[in-house]
Amino acid sequence: MSKIVEGLKYSDTHEWVKTEGDIAIIGVTDYAQKEMGEITYVDCPDVDDEVEKGGEFGALESVKAASDLFSPVSGTVTEVNEAVVDDPKLVNDDAFENWIIKVQMSDASELDDLMDASAYKAFIKE
Amino acid sequence: MDGEIKKTCLHGSHVALGAQMSPFAGFDMPIQYAGITQEHLAVRNRVGMFDVSHMGEIFISGPDAERYVNHIFTNNISGYQPGKILYGMMLYPNGGCVDDLLVYREFEPDRFLLVVNAANIDKDYDWMLRNSTGYDVKIDNQSDAWGQIAIQGPESEKTVLDVLGLDCAQKLGFYEYCNADYNGHRLIVSRSGYTGEDGFELYATLQDTIKIWDRLLKAGVEPCGLGCRDTLRFEAGLPLYGDELSDEITPIEAGLGIFCKLDKPEFIGREALVAQKELGVEKKLVGIEIFDRAIPRHGYPVELEDGTEVGVVTTGYHSISLDRSICFALVQTKYSTLDTPLWIRIRKKVFPGKVIKKRFYETKYKK
């Protein structure tokens, strides 16, 4: 069973969002990291890049394949988790602890379109 | 793929071992068990085993067998003794590749075993039948009756001898095989493989394949999936049909000209290859290394510094054994010489690199 954290918002492309004021902290779910296997590379945007809700902002790569990352919200990248870029396996170790980017949201109401923990749990149907 | 997905005789074992399964070439195959990196390193450092029962086995026999095989096969089997194996391709008249395959010369006269890619079994069998007019041969597709296990790695000889007691394995050089008796059935012990390491490929009945697999599992041999089969063959510079070879890629373009004996009087596709040799080819398969940890994948564009597209990646990985981001790519011939600077577009970014030798990993075959 994959871990799901209460109080976060979830996208149907398996990203999670935690909000601190108007900052969205974005990572991938435990389910996603399990599906991918050993993550060997994290492709991140640069700070100050614009991201769009539903738009690709980077990718996670396992030995076998690349999986695009999609932003659950629109806004401007304020921070990239360099620890994860340097050591991609951190995402496998704890996908909720090891966020990928932080985004200053341009429209916090976009969060309403995302799933809560119980809806996401139903969505992945484990 | 039409119809139901096929299962090999070892499917139950893969599921019981908790393998991650995925459709490949019409079969539900294990991609990985413990993980691609662990399995890859087991083969490089010790020994691993693969279920390759999906591969096709087609037997050619009859008075014209040798002449017929030489007609459809790029390599030259004349003068090859029983017990020897040859690698080569079957080509269309335009030089495009029907498949790449192994040809085993059997110990009985006028008999050969052709081992072909799983995805191509039906196409190959049909091609063989269609091109057999005028040859007194029997073409017998026994693919569903044979299982196959590949045992690969520096400890593979020890494994085959100590765990399975297949004594005839010891005297084999690479690309040689012997026949053993297993429960009264034929077992083909072939010193060959697709990993760059020493190794064996065992062809057996379906029931024997299950028994052999279970004995190897009990002896602690690491089960390895198709995931690391691809990373291993890639590092060793070996092509995969569908990536480095296809109906649109000739062996000359893929750098496999040494397996095409243009001095043979005749084989299907020969004229096209002779012309390519004389006039040169427009595209060539190269190795490229990029100076970053980003991973070039199949289909990504290869570019010049100004963004002009000059090729495409066919297979790429962050190499497990070499810790470098490398790929095979088909590029315009004028950009194929060693050390040529080339760029690879990976999603929104472009990464600089250069042409390197295709055999990334030094192979360790038994001489």
DSSP conformation class of B250? -
Q: Which domain holds residue A21?
A: 13-106
Tell me, yes or no, whether A120 lies in a domain.
Answer: no
Taking the CA of residue B225 and the nearest CA in chain A, the distance in Å comes to: 12
DSSP conformation class of B122? H
DSSP conformation class of B172? P
Of A37, A56, A61, the CB nearest to B36: A37
Please report which confidence band the pLDDT of residue A64 belongs to, taking 50, 70 and 90 as the band edges. confident
Q: Which domain holds residue B344?
A: 282-356
Tell me, yes or no, whether B350 lies in a domain.
Answer: yes
Q: How far does Cα B350 stand from its chain's mean position?
A: 31
Tell me, yes or no, whether B66 lies in a domain.
Answer: no
**A9's tokens:** 């918002």
**Nearest residue of chain A to residue B348 (CA atoms):** A58
**B236's tokens:** 């060793």
Residues B310 and B197 in one domain: no
Instruction: Please report residues of B whose CB lies closer than 8 A to that of A58.
Output: 347
Of A40, A63, A66, the CB nearest to B227: A63
> Is-contact B198 B365, C-beta < 8 A?
yes
Tell me, yes or no, whether B363 lies in a domain.
Answer: no
pLDDT value at residue B1:
47
Tell me, yes or no, whether B221 lies in a domain.
Answer: yes
Tell me, yes or no, whether A5 lies in a domain.
Answer: no
Interface membership of A85 toward B (CB under 8 Å): no
Tell me, yes or no, whether B109 lies in a domain.
Answer: no
> Is-contact B73 B261, C-beta < 8 A?
no
Tell me, yes or no, whether A119 lies in a domain.
Answer: no
| The domain boundary residue, chosen from B174, B204, B235 | B235
Residues B286 and B231 in one domain: no
Interface membership of A89 toward B (CB under 8 Å): no
Tell me, yes or no, whether B71 lies in a domain.
Answer: no
Tell me, yes or no, whether A82 lies in a domain.
Answer: yes
**What confidence tens digit (pLDDT) does each residue in B225-261 have?**
999 999 999 999 999 999 999 999 999 999 999 999 9
**What confidence tens digit (pLDDT) does each residue in B303-342 have?**
999 999 999 999 999 999 999 999 999 999 999 999 999 9
Beta strand B199-205 pairing with B185-191: antiparallel
Beta bridge partners of B242: none
C-beta atoms of A37 and B297 within 8 A: no
Interface membership of A40 toward B (CB under 8 Å): yes
> Is-contact B267 B103, C-beta < 8 A?
no
**Domain count for chain A:** 1
Q: Best residue in A39, A52, A64, A70 to probe B by mutation, most B CBs within 10 Å?
A: A64
What is the domain-level CATH number for residue A52?
2.40.50.100
Secondary element (H or E) of residue A100: none
Report the pLDDT averaged over residues B192-217.
Answer: 98
Residues B231 and B148 in one domain: yes
pLDDT value at residue B367:
78
**What confidence tens digit (pLDDT) does each residue in B75-133 have?**
999 999 999 999 999 999 999 999 999 999 999 999 999 999 999 999 999 999 999 99
Please report which confidence band the pLDDT of residue B366 belongs to, taking 50, 70 and 90 as the band edges. confident
**What confidence tens digit (pLDDT) does each residue in A3-45 have?**
999 999 999 999 999 999 999 999 999 999 998 888 999 999 9
**DSSP states of B91-107:** E-TTS-EEEEEEEEEPS
Interface membership of B121 toward A (CB under 8 Å): no
Tell me, yes or no, whether A124 lies in a domain.
Answer: no
**A18's tokens:** 């935690």
| The domain boundary residue, chosen from B201, B235, B269 | B235
Calpha distance A117→A114 (Å, rounded): 10
